[in-house]
Amino acid sequence: MPLSSQALYFHLGLHADDDGVVEAFPIMRQVGAVEDDLRILVAKKFIVVLNEDLVTYITDWNENNRIRADRKVDSIYKEMLIQMVPNIKLKSSKRRADTGKIPGRPLDNQWTAQVRLGKDRLGKDSKDILSGSDEPDRIPYQEIVDYLNEKAGTKYRASGAKTQRLIKARFNDGFNSDDFNKVIDLKAAEWSGTDMAKYLRPETLFGTKFESYLNQEPAELKKKGQSYGGLEF
């Protein structure tokens, strides 16, 4: 297997969550991997691509990683993972014995019980830009979703937790309302009236490929068939 594919696989493992799920697109950009590197990992059944945004599951995750049930944090993509990989056996979370609260990182020094290969997750939660905050949320969710519904003829709700998470993540990346409108305009012009119209949705437009959509020039737009983030598997 090419060294570039090996490097991509290694970094996917470093960034995966407790269920072995990782957003592959930003990792590919980070390590300079190309589409063929991801195809090779899929062909060798090292990973399963779950959706067109290249959300990816590492197939041997459970064999190579161990985590206490009262320390495990379920993946935000858990429902998608179960749907796309029906036979998967996920470790169930349980309430912590020390606090009785839902699973999370330990407050004590019991890190030795959580064995993770090649991955240090200390401080991850405290650095999570999507974690709760006492500051008021001034992101214009309603304005952005209304614009999408107007352009795509859809009826998405701005109050959806997943939609808000995606929009907030892009704002935390430094993008603004005008950027959202541009992405919506570009992809609506490209996909409306094609079999890709069903992907005019928050999950696709505001996901990990947002920046690449934003930098797409109108002159480059072409009619495309269905694919996973442009990758044909």
Predicted confidence at residue 227, as pLDDT, reads: 52
Phi–psi pair at 223, nearest 5 degrees: -70, 125
Tens of pLDDT along 35-49?
A: 889 999 999 999 999
**What order of strands is seen across the sheet that includes strand 21-23?**
21-23, 55-58, 47-49
Mean pLDDT to the nearest integer, 181-206:
92
The model's confidence at residue 205, banded by pLDDT at 50, 70 and 90, is: very high
Burial letters for 131-157: b for 16+ Cβ neighbours within 10 Å, e otherwise? eeeeeeeebebeebbebbbebbeeebe
Please report the DSSP string for 19-76 in residue order.
TSEEEHHHHHHHHT--HHHHHHHHHTTSEEE-STT-EEEETTHHHH----TTT----T
User: Which residue pairs from 97-100 have beta carbons closer than 8 angstroms and sit at least 24 positions apart in sequence?
Assistant: 97/70
Averaged pLDDT, 214-224: 64
Q: Are strands 47-49 and 55-58 parallel, antiparallel or unpaired?
A: antiparallel
The token pair that represents 99 in the structure block: 């606090």
Q: How confident is the model at residue 104 (pLDDT cuts 50, 70, 90)?
A: low
pTM of the model: 0.45
For residues 64-73, give the mean pLDDT: 77
Question: So what's the pLDDT on residue 108?
Answer: 44
Stretch 47-71: mean pLDDT, rounded?
A: 85
Judged against a pLDDT cut of 70, whether residue 161 lies above it is answered with yes
State the average pLDDT for the chain. 79
With a cut of 90, say whether residue 186 has pLDDT above it.
yes
